[in-house]
């Protein structure tokens, strides 16, 4: 895959959040993290905007980093992209697994009603999509980690708090 190259890559940032909105989650909970968002309107819509880089998101692939770059990649309530259909799921999973290191982790925080990333939908896609020389293992425990439980997640377009239960899908990536 032909990759764009990020100018001035900060190699101390070993984690990545895609589709961060205002970036509050990553700013608060994820150390050494690039916070990215596709939509530049967040610059003015957020009380405080923590986004490092605009124009990069799971909707705008390929990502602008070299392969095997990140220890963890986070997607918080991906909406409008993700795992709704098999073709898009395969493109996204291949890009995420290329970007995460061997033994890395992909974490998706979502609700059971999100049509793009509900736990059942993600599990289905992981089980049906095979990526050459990569094994994906979805953790059976999908309860939200206690350290994240006090965070208020928002619908990106509605700006309303998400009141549904939040699940944490942890995908372990093993590159053979």
User: Whole-model pTM?
Assistant: 0.91
Residue 104's pLDDT band (cuts 50, 70, 90): very high
> Residue 74's pLDDT is what?
96
| Residue extents of the structural domains in the chain | 15-175
Contacts of 113 (CB under 8 A, 6+ apart): 164
pLDDT, tens digit, 9 for 90 and up, residues 130-156? 999 999 999 989 998 988 888 888 776
CB of 85 within 8 A of CB of 26?
A: no
What average pLDDT does the segment 15-44 reach? Answer: 92
Helices marked H in 53-130: 86-99, 119-128
Q: What is the mean pLDDT of the chain?
A: 88
In which residue are the tokens 């970007």 written? 99
Residue 2's pLDDT band (cuts 50, 70, 90): very low
Pairing of strands 134-138, 70-76: unpaired
Topology of domain 15-175 in CATH is: Rossmann fold (3.40.50)
Distance CA 176, CA 165 (A): 35
Reply yes or no: is the peptide bond before residue 96 cis, omega within 30 of 0.
no
What average pLDDT does the segment 49-75 reach? Answer: 87
């Amino acid at each position: 895959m032909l990759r764009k190259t990020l100018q001035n890559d900060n190699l101390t940032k070993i984690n990545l959040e895609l589709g961060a909105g205002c970036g509050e989650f990553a700013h608060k909970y994820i150390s050494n993290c690039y916070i990215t968002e596709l939509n530049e309107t967040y610059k003015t819509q957020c009380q405080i905007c923590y986004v490092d880089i605009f124009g990069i998101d799971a909707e705008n692939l390929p990502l602008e980093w070299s392969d095997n770059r990140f220890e963890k990649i986070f997607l918080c309530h991906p909406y409008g992209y993700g795992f709704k259909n098999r073709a898009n799921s395969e493109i996204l999973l291949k890009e995420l697994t290329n970007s995460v290191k061997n033994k890395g982790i992909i974490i998706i925080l979502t609700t059971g009603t999100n049509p793009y990333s509900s736990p059942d939908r993600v599990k289905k896609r992981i089980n049906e999509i095979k990526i050459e020389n990569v094994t994906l293992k979805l953790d059976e425990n999908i309860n939200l980690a206690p350290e994240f439980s006090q965070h208020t997640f928002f619908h990106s377009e509605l700006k309303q708090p998400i009141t549904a239960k939040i699940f944490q899908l942890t995908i372990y990536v093993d590159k053979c």
